[in-house]
Amino acid sequence: MNERLLTVEDLRVSFDTYAGEVQAVRGVSFHLDRGETLAIVGESGSGKSVTVQTVMALNPMPPARIKSGSIVYKGRELVGLSDREMDAYRGKEFAMIFQDPMTSLNPTMKVGRQIAEGILMHEDISRQEAQERALNMLRMVGLPNPELNMVRFPHTYSGGMRQRIMIAIALACNPSILIADEPTTALDVTIQAQILELMNGLKAELGTGIILITHDLGVVARMADRIAVMYGGQIVECGSADEIFYDPLHPYTWGLLGSMPSTGVRREGKKLIAIPGTPPDLFAPPPGCAFAARCPHCMKICTQTPPEQSVTESGHYASCWLLDKRAPQVEPPEFDIRKEGGRDE
């Protein structure tokens, strides 16, 4: 049943800039199965976008450089493939939707044609057939009046409609992996709900594997089967959605979950709980745990040696010295969600 689509192993990506080497991704490993949604959350600037753009081979090199690691898609190694060779995968096997659909749509080309061109690039079918497929895609993403909408220009659509067109383009070649980087950040929650429903439908019907990057933990709770938490260029914790929300292991995850404003209460001097301090300098990442400088539980060893990965029986893992047998017992803080989650069961 669990058909492995993608395995990323110890991926390291740097940018060579005037000021020096920015170590944006520092040893990231994860996998994605058919018909599952992996959410990637974490610190802004922690390397989420760079990671998935590397999988898509979208980072211009230079300045970007894959220092090491492997990306295996259905048994085939992708690292080292030429741009030409990658073209066979991009758009066909993997497709990506971005936060801002307008920057990725061609403003001077009618929508139907844009979808059809995308199909023609990858498949040897007639223009007529491609047009028909495009029409079908628009129908599938729930755009009303698809015949009429085929001949409109992107700027005449609202944000929600554009995002659906992006999804239609992304799905036109029936990719096995859909990568969505902040796909609904620019939309109101009613349109967001429609888009998320659409993505879940695809997953169920076509078995698409989805990698979803978002800061909205509500969206994550709604969509994710598994969650990877990134900090400072690394995945610091990874587990099922329930494990991450109800039983998080890493102090950064604790901090993240604790920062949310609790639903149903309002300010009156109420401060949100932010994680104090600033993220690590990726020019010179710390030798030990990347989170050490901001971690309330930091021990001496944390600043010296990178923590090893501790894995539970179910496969939930985290990299933190607190999980070492010799470390003192630390109770995770109480979160609102846990109480709510417990109650609803």
Partner 1 sequence: MSDLPLIQVRELKKYFYPKKGQVLKAVDNVSFDIPRGTTLGLVGESGCGKTTVGRTILRLYERDSGSVLFDGIDVHGVSRREYKALTRRMQMIFQDPYASLDPRFTVGDIVAEGIDNHGLCATRAERTEKIYRLLEMVGLNREHASRFPHEFSGGQRQRVGIARALAVDPEFIVCDEAISALDVSIQAQVINLLMELQGELGLTYLFIAHDLSMVRHISDRTAVMYLGQVVEHAETDELFTNPLHPYTKGLLAAVPRADPRWERSRERRLMTGEVPSPINPQPGCRFCARCPLATDECRHEDPELREAAPGHFVACRHV
Question: What minimum distance in Å lies between the beta carbon of 190 and partner 1?
Answer: 4
Residue 49 interacts with Mg ion (CB under 5 A): yes or no: yes
Contact track, ligand ATP, 159-198, x by CB under 6 A: x--------------------------x------------
Q: Contact, 338 vs 344, CB < 8 A?
A: no
Question: What minimum distance in Å lies between the beta carbon of 1 and ligand ATP?
Answer: 32
How many other β-carbons are positioned within 10 Å of the β-carbon of residue 43?
23
Q: Which is nearer to ligand ATP, 40 or 172 (CB)?
A: 40
Of residues 261 through 290, those in contact with ligand SF4 by CB under 6 A are 289
CA 235 to chain centre: 12
| Rounded Cα–Cα distance for residues 281 and 78 (Å) | 29
Of residues 266 through 295, those in contact with partner 1 by CB under 8 A are 266-267, 270-275, 278-279, 281, 283
Q: Contact, 257 vs 245, CB < 8 A?
A: yes
| Rounded Cα–Cα distance for residues 206 and 156 (Å) | 30
Contacts of 42-45 with CB under 8 Å at 24 or more apart are 42/228, 42/229, 42/230, 42/231, 42/236, 42/252, 42/256, 43/230, 43/231, 43/232, 43/252, 43/279, 44/215, 45/279, 45/282
Q: Which is nearer to partner 1, 89 or 254 (CB)?
A: 254
Q: Contact, 227 vs 239, CB < 8 A?
A: yes
Picked from Mg ion, ligand SF4, partner 1, none, the partner binding residue 125 (CB below 5 to 8 A depending on kind) is none
Q: Contact, 27 vs 85, CB < 8 A?
A: no
Residue 298 interacts with partner 1 (CB under 8 A): yes or no: no
CA atoms within 13 A on the CB side of 104: 24
Q: Contact, 194 vs 142, CB < 8 A?
A: yes
Question: Which of 299, 332, 333, 335 contacts ligand SF4 by CB under 6 A?
Answer: 299
| Rounded Cα–Cα distance for residues 90 and 107 (Å) | 21
Question: Which of 90, 140, 302, 317 contacts ligand SF4 by CB under 6 A?
Answer: 302
Residue 317 interacts with ligand SF4 (CB under 6 A): yes or no: no
Stretch that binds partner 1, among 15-23, 79-87, 165-173, 310-318 (CB under 8 A): 15-23
| Residue 305 Ramachandran class (φ > 0 left, ψ -120 to 50 alpha, else beta) | beta
Residue 285 interacts with ligand ATP (CB under 6 A): yes or no: no
Footprint of ligand SF4 (CB under 6 A): 251, 289, 291-292, 295, 297-299, 302, 307, 320-322
Binding residues for partner 1 (CB under 8 A):
15, 17, 19, 22, 41-45, 49, 99-100, 103, 144, 156, 158-161, 182, 185-194, 196-197, 215-222, 224, 241-242, 245-246, 255-257, 259-261, 263, 266-267, 270-275, 278-279, 281, 283, 337, 340-341, 344-345
Binding site for ligand ATP (CB under 6 A): 15, 17, 22, 24, 44-50, 63, 159, 186, 282
